Amino acid sequence: MSLPFDAFTVGVLRALNVAPTQLHPNTWASMQAFRVVCRTFGVRPLPSCFLHFYASHPAELVGWHSLDSQAGSMLFKPFTASYKNFKEKFFKVYVEPAGTQYFFDEVGEFRFPLFWTMKPTKIKDWPRSVNPSVHERVIFVLFYGLPKKLPGRLLMSLYTVTNREVVFEGMWS
């Protein structure tokens, strides 16, 4: 992940009501893979479209938050099967006055929580818009047309590649 967060990342964090450190690493990888696919095909990633493919079931006793694929629509294989000790590694966010625009919106509200929340948003089925925009329809057509269980680890490696289309097409050819 890189700072400052883009509108997509801020939108997902806000919708889930979680701090960046509260997300499970596989969820971060899925978000990055979604972003890579969108950028490869020249569309801006939207939080609502990403969350449409996932469900969240926050447990009260567990502080970290993970997303599960909706039944039959796993977009990406998990980045890794096991992350050891990730729950013990945290960082503190301190906002200098010069950086406030990255963490607060125009009216002074947090763009996303800076601390672990006790009530992450539960998502059973993120609804598609009744009247989806052209942009939303393009994203849904794109992701419903792709093979399921794309390799998340390989997609993550394309994050900084400029000629993603060639590598992306070679993944399943």
Boundaries of every domain in the chain:
7-170
Q: How many CB atoms lie within 10 A of CB 95?
A: 13
Specify the higher pLDDT residue, 36 or 80.
Answer: 36
Mean pLDDT over 51-59 rounds to: 81
Top-confidence range, 36-50, 66-80, 111-125: 36-50
Yes or no: say if 13 and 47 are a contact pair by the CB < 8 Å rule. Answer: no
Residue 160 sits at φ, ψ, to 5 deg, of -105, 0
The type of residue at 81 is A
Pair type for strands 54-56 and 76-77: unpaired
pTM tops 0.85 = no
- 59 vs 31, residue with greater confidence: 31
**The pLDDT of residue 158 is above 60:** yes
CA distances from 19 to 60, 83, 163 (A): 16, 19, 32
pLDDT digits (tens, 9 = 90+) for 133-148: 899 999 999 998 888 8
Over 70: is that where the pLDDT of 6 sits?
A: yes
Mean pLDDT estimate for the chain: 78
Of 146 and 79, the one with more pLDDT:
146
